[in-house]
Amino acid sequence: MNYLRTSARRMTFVLAACFAMAPLASHAAAKVQHLISPGGIEAWFVQDSTVPLLAMEYAFGGGATQDPADKPGVGNMVANLLDEGSGDLDSKTFHERLERRAIELSFSSARDNFRGSLRMLRDNRDEAFDLLRMALTSPRFESSDVERIRAQVMSGLRRETSNPNSLASRKLLEVAFGNHPYGRPGNGTLESVPRIEVADLKDYVGHVLARDTLKIAVVGDVDPATLGKLLDQTFGGLPAKASLAPAADIEAAKPPQRAFIPLDVPQTVVTFGGPGFRRSDPNFMAGYIVNHILGGGGLSSRLYREVREKRGLAYSVYESLLWMDHSALFIGNTGTRADRAGETVDAISKEVRRMAEDGPTQQELDEAKSYLKGSQMLALDTSSKLASALLQYQLDRLPIDYIEKRNAIVDAVTLDDAKKAAQRLWGQGLLTVIVGRAPQAAAQPAAAPPPAAN
């Protein structure tokens, strides 16, 4: 990360704090408008003048699934380079413009989408949207910037080779999805990133960033007419249609399977998972609730009580649902002492099996429902959080009034629904990846580091 980027982010801390503290308790119940600009660009929009701020989240279809099979990481490189100069502005000048107006602009490449975020004070909205327009439509991809970003990405990838959590997550996706794009690392590999050329970056922009897959969510102090004009000016110059390579639907690998990656670290990491619920599945909410009971409820989850409180095997353990356009997983993680890794895996497997066989109790179901309904308001208490949620609802193809309907959907889940969901999620066992010291070495102290050179 260069000094200018670091300085800009420090300077925009105040703006970020304003977004974090902006009181939006009423927003969860606010009416979401379906705005269509004069040029036909659609957005979900919540107008709020409580504070003079504006937050926009948006996404294009594609994401890491559009990386060439032999060059994973192209989308990630694009995301890191779009704000490194555009049009007649070089990287330094572009970031100075952002810094001067305390504008927050960022991009990321997710599995199925190329996403962006824009936040600014109301009075700086014209310049903020114009800088975004330039970044999307005329990125420079100067060789010096490309090589600097490439070096940063490579540095991160090298760190991951000794990070047990990174290794475990990568391996689990590889086991679950094989050669499917979901099985490839979105940020690339040490072999693929050096081979990414400027032509690859330009090609990605040309076939991914287009209006037909664009989803937008805006929350803040702007009227609909002004916002419509800003959206047209910002996105109207993009191609009408994307040319995306199709990605096939895939079912995650069938459990049980286990993989081990040797790494000489004192704490062993255990990552586990298996086939989950697609967001469009009518039983998704039942799976979401029962997963919260097993491993998503923090201090109250079954896994936490069994693994941490009763046995003292780990400091924390969690599990969550991960849904994508073409598949779904549940995925969990914990870390433990190397010599207790086997016991930890056994404890997790036993608790998962018990949930699959017996399901939750009525009390657990009632408490989970109460928590999930109450936490909804806290999850949408800032402009940025609400904009992010509204974008995700669009990507998940949920109705525009989903916020209003969600609690009723939670309430409709019965104990029988939850038990069936538990059996479907965990009845076959687990895909398990263990990263740490080999069992025969686990009882020995970790090797001392080599002495530093004089």
Residue-level pLDDT at 449: 39
Residue-level pLDDT at 298: 76
Query: 29: pLDDT confidence band, cut at 50, 70 and 90?
Result: low
444 has a pLDDT exceeding 70: no
DSSP 266: S
36-41 average pLDDT score: 98
DSSP letter string, 34-63 = EEE-TTS-EEEEEE--SSSEEEEEEEEE-G
Work out the angle between the directed axes of helices 415-426 and 362-379 (0-180°, nearest 10): 90
Query: 393: pLDDT confidence band, cut at 50, 70 and 90?
Result: very high
Please list the residue range(s) of the chain that carry CATH number 3.30.830.10.
Answer: 3-235, 257-439
Task: Report helix, strand or coil for 134.
Answer: helix
C-alpha 245: how far from its chain's center? 22
Is the distance from CB of 415 to CB of 362 less than 8 angstroms? yes
Task: Report helix, strand or coil for 321.
Answer: strand
265-269 average pLDDT score: 93
Q: What confidence tens digit (pLDDT) does each residue in 290-336 have?
A: 999 999 977 889 999 999 999 999 989 999 999 999 999 999 999 99
Is the distance from CB of 402 to CB of 393 less than 8 angstroms? yes
396 has a pLDDT exceeding 90: yes
On average, the pLDDT of the chain sits at: 91
Residue-level pLDDT at 286: 98
pTM for this predicted structure? 0.88
| Separation of alpha carbons 48 and 133, rounded Å | 24
Is the distance from CB of 321 to CB of 287 less than 8 angstroms? yes
Cα angle 253, 256, 257; round to 5: 75
Residue-level pLDDT at 377: 78
Query: 420: pLDDT confidence band, cut at 50, 70 and 90?
Result: very high
Residue-level pLDDT at 297: 75
Residue-level pLDDT at 15: 44
Q: Cβ contacts of residue 237 below 8 Å, gap of 6+?
A: 133, 137
C-alpha 445: how far from its chain's center? 36
**Residue 54 CA: distances (Å) to CA of 94, 104, 387:** 20, 11, 10
Task: Report helix, strand or coil for 115.
Answer: strand
17 has a pLDDT exceeding 70: no
Q: Which two tokens stand for residue 62?
A: 């594609």
Q: What are phi and psi of 259, to 5 degrees?
A: -130, 150
Percent of the chain with pLDDT over 90: 85
Is the distance from CB of 418 to CB of 359 less than 8 angstroms? yes
What is the architecture of the domain spanning 257-439? Answer: 2-Layer Sandwich (3.30)
| Separation of alpha carbons 384 and 2, rounded Å | 26
Higher pLDDT residue, 277 or 27?
Answer: 277
Residue-level pLDDT at 379: 83
What is the architecture of the domain spanning 3-235? Answer: 2-Layer Sandwich (3.30)
